[in-house]
Structure 1
Amino acid sequence: MAIDLHTHSTESDGTESPAAVVAAAAVAGLSTIALTDHDTARGWTEAADAVGEYGVALVPGIEISCQSRGISVHLLGYLIDPTQPDLRGELERARESRRTRARRMVELIAEDLPLTWEDVVAQAGADATLGRPHIADALVAKGLVADRSEAFARYLHPSGKYHVSHYAPDPVRAVELVRRSGGVPVMAHPFAHQRGRVVADDVIEAMAAAGLAGLEAYHRDHDDEAREHALRLADRLGILVTGSSDYHGAGKPNRLGEHTTAPQVLEQIEAQATGATAVVRP
């Protein structure tokens, strides 16, 4: 079994529809994927409908963008009940803040470059969780950069002149909300230093005390030192270890199945889930 528990579709910042992600997973030889779009469960139905056709099991999930002490933290929530009021309200607040932030960033960029809000919206799916990757895609479409990587490096980096902050919940609260919704929270790429600053261990310890189930140790943005750090910390805290691609289609170089999760770990995630959502199997 080849299990990849972190992928994105056009419902957030991926470049393929939910069904196309499932199809791509079949081509990659995966048995199971998790669809974990940012702050939304909108892609689950389409992905679930594709399970029977492509023979790939689906773990419904989300990725919640959090912030602790000014540092970005990404939390994966598997098998949640997306209708749970507290979690749903937090996700809606985050989505609206992302959109407002993106519009302001476009306004700033437009002072120097020929870019409009309409250019950005044209790169996003209907009701997608809109964010910086869509601005990057608009810059590519306008011929202003070669790809997303150049867009982020030149114009969309957190330390750049066009950066605008957005609302993001504290990660401990996010862990509590995922658990309240019956889901299982796993911290994505916890020590990906190349993305920027990472939180100290005490933040992850507080998340674990609130119910954090695991760390995504195996990820392309972890070098050997970061991976070993995650493995040691997970062992000390008695929590699970996962591996994932963080697939975005053509939006990133990440390839499906380049890192995977052990079947027994997925079994433990399923065993912890108490929400309304279950793994969808062929």
Structure 2
Amino acid sequence: MNTIDLHMHSIYSDDGVYTPTELMKMCKDAGLQIVAIADHNSTKAIPEARNAAEKLKLTYIPAIELDCTIHGVDLHVLGYGIDENNQALLDNAEYVKKQAQNVGKEQIEKVKALGFYIDEDACYALSHEGVITGEIIAEVALQDERNHPLMKEYLPGGSRSDNPFVNFYWDYCAQSKPAYVPIHYISLKEAVDMIHAAGGIAVLAHPGNNTKENLSLIDAIFAYDVKGMEVYSSYHSPEQIAFYKDYAEQHYLMITMGSDFHGKTKPSIALGGSHCPDTSLYENAILSLIK
């Protein structure tokens, strides 16, 4: 049974929908025992989640997911065992949020230029603190029947309908896609240094999404004192899990696991999931992350 999930998102991520307390109750109901909320560039969930987890007798690990870049590639790096009050982390959260608030309108215009009808007011109504994500644009687009001929893949029964909002983001709004609008993220080195200064360790999130099996890129990432890899992810195929597990073991990296549960933006992803067959193999190492 999978009893560990170290990657989920609360309302303090722009694309999360559950409060930290709600998430901890859901983790308990799912049979999880060791958990972490890793919100995008934010530590706001940690005090509430830690308190809720303690009441529910869950083991909680404070975490964050930092956006960063290396060699022009956007990455997500997880920081575990961090001090949520670290000033550099707090400053970076504001730095990213202000940029994200400014790019939403431009991204809407780029999506509209591709032939979609997008209600800007509806996007802002769904946003957190004025941050419009690709997933929000997708949700609004799918509500407008005029877009359905262009969005058959995302409608029920379509090839991208399992997680329609985030799939639309990956297909249209992610890096290198036609509606991509860049945000200037910190470098990988800055992210790792920030995590270390906050007392944590750095772990590469869902490499199957960002690095694929590009060994030269993966080697470059782990040259920056990244100590672990999220080998078990809801995004990884069995073949990818085997590839990343082998890499992690050869390089003496900590192996972690996470669902990347968000709620409605990724409805096919469940807390815990079935991507990690036996989390007990990694429990002792993961418990060392608790401060």
Band of TM-score, shorter chain: 0.7 to 0.9
RMSD of aligned C-alpha atoms? 2.7
Provide the secondary structure at the position in 2 that maps to 1:247.
coil
Counterpart of 1:109, as a letter, is: V
Contact 1:99 1:131 in 2 (8 A): no
For the pair 1:73 / 2:75, whether they are aligned, the reply is yes
Provide the secondary structure at the position in 1 that maps to 2:39.
strand
Counterpart of 1:164, as a letter, is: V
Q: Name the counterpart of 1:5.
A: 6
* Per-residue deviation, residues 105-144 of structure 1 (Å, max 9, x unmatched): 023334544424432232234x486532233333345555
Compute the TM-score of the two structures, normalised by the length of structure 1: 0.82
For the pair 1:57 / 2:59, whether they are aligned, the reply is yes
Q: CA separation in 1, counterparts of 2:122 and 2:55?
A: 35
Q: CA separation in 2, counterparts of 1:59 and 1:141?
A: 38
Provide the secondary structure at the position in 2 that maps to 1:63.
strand
Provide the secondary structure at the position in 2 that maps to 1:36.
coil
For the pair 1:175 / 2:192, whether they are aligned, the reply is yes
Number of aligned positions between the proteins: 267
Q: Name the counterpart of 2:202.
A: 185
Q: Name the counterpart of 1:148.
A: 165
1:264/1:128 CA distance change after superposition, 3 Å: farther
Contact 1:66 1:170 in 2 (8 A): yes
Q: Name the counterpart of 1:263.
A: 283
Provide the secondary structure at the position in 2 that maps to 1:210.
coil
Contact 2:61 2:289 in 1 (8 A): no
1:79/1:163 CA distance change after superposition, 3 Å: same
Correspondent of 2:180 among 128, 144, 163: 163
Please, which runs of 5 or more residues in structure 2 have no aligned partner?
A: 156-163
Q: CA separation in 2, counterparts of 1:104 and 1:236?
A: 44
1:243 CA displacement: 1.4
Q: CA separation in 2, counterparts of 1:205 and 1:176?
A: 18
1:84/1:153 CA distance change after superposition, 3 Å: closer
Q: CA separation in 1, counterparts of 2:261 and 2:243?
A: 23
Counterpart of 1:7, as a letter, is: M
Identity %: 25
Compute the TM-score of the two structures, normalised by the length of structure 2: 0.80
1:21-40 pair list within 5 angstroms? 21-40=23-42
Please, which runs of 5 or more residues in structure 1 have no aligned partner?
A: 271-277
Counterpart of 2:168, as a letter, is: A
Q: Name the counterpart of 1:275.
A: none
Counterpart of 1:2, as a letter, is: T
* Per-residue deviation, residues 4-52 of structure 1 (Å, max 9, x unmatched): 1000112111222222111111111111210001011112233233224
1:243-262 pair list within 5 angstroms? 243-252=257-266, 253-258=268-273, 259-260=275-276, 261=279, 262=282
Further displaced range: 80-89 or 39-48: 80-89
Contact 2:134 2:166 in 1 (8 A): no
Further displaced range: 222-231 or 148-157: 148-157
